[in-house]
């Protein structure tokens, strides 16, 4: 525990003395008629530093007075156990209601001194962070003037959220059919990809207010504050009628307990519980949607993702070539770009740039032009800006990703796609991309035929071969010594699949129906996997020309949809 410095002790003592004086005044004045103000008004005044002293207790109302005013005020008692501490931290004097009689005794001083002690401790822990903001002051409440047109690219994500706009506009229509619309959505993807923009656009399209807060606003405060801020936020949204509530950095509140580090965190749990309680309180006909954003979905507490909560998860990924071109075009609009600046060429050069970086790029270019007094923005200004943006972006943005890595990813993903197309043509490969997603290195999405009751032995084997084909393609093209860690997720999945194949489904020809576990099963799994991997590399070797074709197309276009893929293979 941190020892109190001399300054702090002095602070405590003078505060206690001041408090005594204030309390005396308070006793003196308490007979006056007090004016009642709403609690939100009170909180605002506290935030603005207007409140001098407050008498907190068990009564339905709490009394307070302002600096430079003789009037007495009252407001509703929120009965929040954390209130006293929040007030103290905001520099407001607090007296306990009903303890005036003891004012001359030393006891209250000891008691209050204790409160100050803990308050100071909490303060030093939080390194002087602004003391109190009970209202949603950190949030931005606005009528959004952004709409779907402001969001360039992100086509799939837009499709996934389009119905929500209609739901916010006409909640009754859906309620009438007994449809349960999402109360919460999670947008996940790398920073700067337009998650906030998209949430704002939903509000704009629906023509409702947009309430934005950050998860970190909730938890850097003191116990109980986060929860009460959540309640306050939802109250305001309800008062507005229909609304979009946006919670950025939801991980701050909703991280899995496992990944949370130092075990339980009361404040975070309370805040999370308050959030879930508020969401479950929606009747479904309110037209309020909560959108949370995170960079990583896999770190979130399961509780958040259950039905009735944030049960729609939308990936907002880094833009591919086409996406970058439309984002660049959108931000070039209204800027005096020279004709010679080739936007599609620029899109090609900006692999792994997020939307925010692209916006930044053109903005820097404009600044460069303005600095040198040029009328228009030319290639020179763009080039200079390019290096500014690259240098300013951290490595984790992956913008500096090496060409060789891109090639390996392209072949890896092509391997999966090719094997699936060759072995399981009944399965669709909806999309294949080399733009990294939060789920894994590249992106390959395979839609298995839905609602299958069972799979045949051959189907399982083909599925395993396709899963192994990423690594197999790496090995065939780049040699065994150059295989990468990019396949780790595939390998885990294959192992799980083969384990079931051997021990659960009794499909191994060697062990047959015996559901053995232990060494015999392990050995057999290993054998099955290595056999399947052998088949997978064989397949890649045999169809190397097609593999090259897909990989080259991927390197050029970054994303291929099913039609494009079929065309390449035809
Ligand atoms: P995130 O919330 O994912 O971190 P933001 O929504 O805050 O990203 O994006 C920051 C800025 O980047 C936006 O205000 C916008 O100028 C630009 N931007 C990002 N994505 C897009 C996009 N798809 N279309 C147009 N601009 C974008
Ligand atoms: Zn893979």
In tens, the pLDDT along 159-197 reads 999 999 998 888 888 888 888 778 899 999 999 999 999
C-alpha 31: how far from chain center: 52
pLDDT single digits (tens) 12-34: 555 555 555 554 444 444 345 67
Closest-approaching ligand to the CA atom of 441:
2
* Cα–ligand 2 centroid distance for 415 (angstroms): 8
| Nearby residues of 189 by Cβ (< 8 Å), 6 or more positions away | 195, 295, 315, 316, 317, 318, 437, 438
> Which uninterrupted H or E stretch holds 535?
helix 519-542
Distance, in Å, from the CA atom of 246 to the CA atom of 362, rounded to the nearest integer, reads 27
Task: With H, G, I as helix, E, B as strand and everything else as coil, classify residue 209.
Answer: strand
Q: How confident is the model at residue 397 (pLDDT cuts 50, 70, 90)?
A: very low
Please, where are the H alpha helices in 170-214? 171-176, 195-206
* pLDDT on residue 400: 52
Is residue 413 among the annotated active site residues? Answer: yes
Closest ligand to residue 358's CA: 1
Nearest ligand to the CA atom of 359:
1
* CA dist., res. 182 & res. 292, Å (int): 12
Work out the burial of residue 401: count CB atoms within 10 Å of its CB; fewer than 13 is exposed, 13-18 middle, 19 or more buried. Answer: middle
Q: Could you tell me how far CA 457 lies from the centroid of its own chain?
A: 40
- Which has the higher per-residue pLDDT, 523 or 113? 523
Which pLDDT value is given to residue 83? Answer: 78
Separation CA 28–CA 22 (nearest Å): 10
Q: Closest ligand 1 atom to the C-alpha of 153?
A: 23
Question: What is the structure's pLDDT at 285?
Answer: 67
Q: Is 468 helix (H, G, I), strand (E, B) or coil?
A: helix
Please answer whether residues 334 and 351 qualify as being in contact, where contact means their C-beta atoms are separated by less than 8 angstroms: no
Q: Which atom of ligand 1 is nearest to the CA of 198?
A: 6
pLDDT at 418 over 90: yes
Query: Whose C-alpha lies nearest to ligand 1, atom 5?
Result: 194
Give the active site residue among 53, 74, 359, 413: 413
The pLDDT value recorded for residue 224 is: 77
Report how far ligand 1's centroid is from the alpha carbon of 320 (Å): 14
Name every protein residue with a CB atom under 6 angstroms from any ligand 1 atom.
Answer: 151-154, 191-197, 293, 327, 330, 355-356, 359
> Can you give the pLDDT at residue 12?
56
Taking the C-alpha atoms of residue 105 and residue 227, their distance in angstroms, rounded to an integer, is: 36
The alpha carbon of 191 and the centre of ligand 2 are apart by a number of angstroms equal to 23
Atom of ligand 1 minimally distant from the CA of 152: 24
Instruction: Tell me the CA–centroid distance for residue 242 and ligand 2, in Å.
Output: 43
Count CB atoms within 10 A of the CB of residue 320: 20
Burial class, 30, CB count within 10 angstroms (exposed 0-12 / middle 13-18 / buried 19+): middle
From the alpha carbon of 191, which atom of ligand 1 is closest?
4
What DSSP state is assigned to residue 98? Answer: T
pLDDT band, residue 546 (cuts 50/70/90)? very high
The DSSP call for residue 34 is E
Compute, in angstroms, the gap from residue 194 CA to the centroid of ligand 1.
3
From ligand 1's centre to the CA of 160, what distance in Å?
18
What is the DSSP secondary structure assignment for residue 152, as one 8-state letter? -
Distance 306 CA to ligand 1 centre (A): 28
Ligand 1 closest atom vs CA 194: 6
Q: Which long-range contacts (CB under 8 A, 24 or more apart) does 386-395 make?
A: 386/349, 386/350, 386/361, 388/364, 389/353, 389/357, 389/360, 389/361, 389/364, 392/360, 393/357
In this model, does residue 106 exceed pLDDT 70?
Answer: no
**Best residue among 192, 196, 215 to mutate for probing ligand 1, ranked by most atoms within 8 Å of CB:** 192
**What is the pLDDT at residue 221?**
59
Which of residues 19 and 334 earns the better pLDDT score?
334
For 175-185, letters b (16+ CB in 10 Å) and e give beeeeebbbbb
For residue 23, give the 3-state DSSP assignment.
Answer: helix
Q: Considering the entire predicted model, what is its pTM?
A: 0.62
- Which pLDDT score, from 0 to 100, does residue 8 have? 59
Per DSSP, the three-state class of 419 is helix
Contacts of 15 by beta carbon, 8 Å cutoff, 6+ apart: 93, 116
In the predicted structure, residue 378 carries a pLDDT above the cut 60: yes
Q: Residue 508 is encoded by which pair of tokens?
A: 């191994």
* Ligand positioned closest to the Cα atom of 327: 1
Find the length of the chain: 570
Q: Output the CA 289–ligand 1 centroid distance in Å.
A: 20
Site to substitute for ligand 1 among 251, 315, 359, 389, most atoms within 8 A of C-beta: 359
Distance CA 517, CA 481 (A): 33
Q: pLDDT tens digits, residue range 449-502?
A: 555 678 888 989 999 999 999 999 999 999 999 888 888 888 998 999 999 898
Return the minimum-mean-pLDDT range out of 140-154, 326-340, 430-444, 540-554: 430-444
Six token digits for residue 40: 């939100």
Torsions phi, psi for 455 (to 5 deg): -110, 145
Which residues keep their CB under 5 angstroms from ion ligand 2?
470, 490
Atom 7 of ligand 1 has which residue's CA nearest to it?
196
Residue with the bigger pLDDT between 343 and 453: it is: 343
- Asked if 160 contacts 337 with a C-beta cutoff of 8 angstroms, the reply is no
Token pair recorded at residue 385: 């800006």
Q: Which residue from 191, 194, 322 has its CB within 8 A of the most atoms of ligand 1, so it is best to mutate?
A: 194
Structure tokens at 403: 């060409």
DSSP string, 370-413: HHTT-SSB-HHHHHHHHHHHHHHS-GGG-TT--HHHHHHHHHHH
| Cα dihedral: 84, 89, 92, 98 (round 10) | 20
Instruction: Measure 472 CA to ligand 2 centroid, in angstroms.
Output: 10
Instruction: Give the atom of ligand 1 at the shortest distance from the alpha carbon of 199.
Output: 6
Residue with the smallest CA separation from ligand 1 atom 15 is: 356
Q: Which ligand is nearest the CA of 356, by number?
A: 1
Is residue 346 pLDDT above 60, yes or no? yes
Give dist(CA 385, CA 389) in Å, integer.
6
Q: Return the residue whose CA atom lies nearest to atom 27 of ligand 1.
A: 355
Higher pLDDT, 57 or 417: 417
- Which has the minimum average pLDDT: 102-106, 311-315, 431-435, 454-458? 102-106
DSSP calls for 83-97? HHHHHHHTT-EEEET
Ligand 1 closest atom vs CA 326: 24
Q: Which two tokens stand for residue 402?
A: 């090496």
Helix (H) or strand (E) holding 505: none
Q: Check whether 219 has a pLDDT greater than 50.
A: yes
Query: Can you list the alpha helix ranges (DSSP code H) found in 283-378?
Result: 302-305, 321-332, 343-349, 355-371
* Closest to 443 in 3D by CA, of 473, 409, 477: 409
Query: pLDDT, tens digit, for every residue of 357-371?
Result: 999 999 999 999 999
Nearest protein CA to atom 17 of ligand 1, as residue: 356
> Do 63 and 73 touch, CB atoms closer than 8 A?
yes
The protein residue with its alpha carbon nearest to ligand 1, atom 14, reads 197
């Amino acid at each position: 525990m941190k020892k109190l410095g001399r300054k702090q002790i002095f602070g405590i003592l003078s505060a206690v003395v001041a408090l005594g004086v204030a309390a005396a005044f308070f006793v003196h004045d308490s007979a006056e008629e007090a004016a009642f103000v709403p609690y939100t008004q009170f909180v605002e005044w506290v935030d603005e530093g207007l409140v001098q002293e407050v008498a907190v207790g068990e009564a339905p109302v709490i009394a307070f007075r302002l600096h430079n005013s003789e009037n007495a005020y009252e407001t509703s008692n929120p009965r929040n156990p954390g209130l006293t501490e929040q007030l103290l931290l905001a520099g407001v004097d607090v007296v306990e209601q009903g303890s005036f009689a003891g004012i001359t005794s030393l006891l209250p001083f000891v008691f209050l001194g204790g409160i100050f002690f803990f308050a100071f401790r909490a303060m030093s822990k939080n390194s002087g962070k602004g003391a109190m903001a009970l209202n949603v002051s950190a949030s931005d409440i606005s009528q959004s003037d952004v709409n779907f047109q402001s969001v360039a690219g992100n086509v799939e994500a837009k499709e996934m959220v389009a119905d929500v706009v209609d739901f916010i506009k006409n909640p009754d229509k859906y309620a009438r059919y007994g449809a349960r619309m999402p109360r919460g959505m999670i947008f996940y993807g790398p920073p700067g990809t337009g998650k906030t923009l998209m949430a704002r656009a939903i509000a704009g399209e629906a023509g409702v207010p947009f309430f934005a807060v950050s998860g970190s606003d909730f938890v850097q405060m003191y116990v109980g504050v986060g929860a009460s801020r959540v309640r306050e936020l939802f109250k305001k949204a309800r008062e507005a009628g229909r609304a979009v509530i946006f919670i950025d950095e939801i991980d701050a509140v909703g991280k899995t307990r496992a990944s949370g580090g130092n075990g339980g965190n009361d404040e975070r749990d309370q805040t999370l519980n308050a959030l879930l309680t508020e969401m479950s309180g929606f009747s479904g006909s309110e037209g309020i949607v909560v959108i949370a954003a995170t960079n990583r979905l896999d770190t979130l507490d399961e509780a958040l993702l259950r039905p009735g909560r944030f049960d729609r998860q939308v990936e907002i990924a880094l833009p591919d070539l086409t996406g970058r071109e439309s984002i660049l075009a959108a931000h070039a609009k209204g800027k005096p770009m020279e004709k010679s600046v080739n936007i599609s060429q620029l899109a090609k050069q900006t692999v792994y740039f997020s939307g925010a970086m692209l916006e930044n790029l053109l903005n820097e270019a404009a600044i460069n032009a303005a600095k040198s007094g040029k009328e228009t923005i030319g290639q020179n200004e763009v080039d200079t800006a390019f290096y500014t943006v690259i240098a300013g972006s951290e490595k984790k943005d992956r913008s500096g990703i090496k060409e060789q890595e891109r090639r390996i990813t392209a072949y890896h993903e092509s391997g999966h796609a090719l094997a699936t197309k060759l072995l399981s043509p009944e399965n669709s490969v909806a999309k294949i991309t080399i733009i990294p997603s939060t789920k894994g290195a590249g992106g390959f999405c395979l839609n298995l035929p839905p609602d299958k009751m069972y799979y045949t032995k051959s189907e399982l084997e083909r599925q395993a071969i396709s899963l192994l084909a990423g690594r197999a393609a790496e090995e065939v093209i780049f040699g065994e010594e150059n295989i990468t860690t990019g396949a780790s997720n595939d390998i885990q999945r294959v192992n799980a699949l083969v384990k079931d194949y051997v021990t659960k489904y009794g499909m191994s020809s060697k062990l047959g129906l015996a559901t053995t576990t232990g060494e015999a099963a392990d050995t057999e799994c290993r054998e099955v996997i290595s056999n399947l991997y052998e088949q997978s590399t064989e397949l890649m070797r045999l169809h190397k020309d097609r593999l090259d074709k897909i990989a080259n197309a991927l390197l050029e276009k970054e994303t291929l949809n099913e039609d494009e893929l079929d065309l390449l293979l035809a």
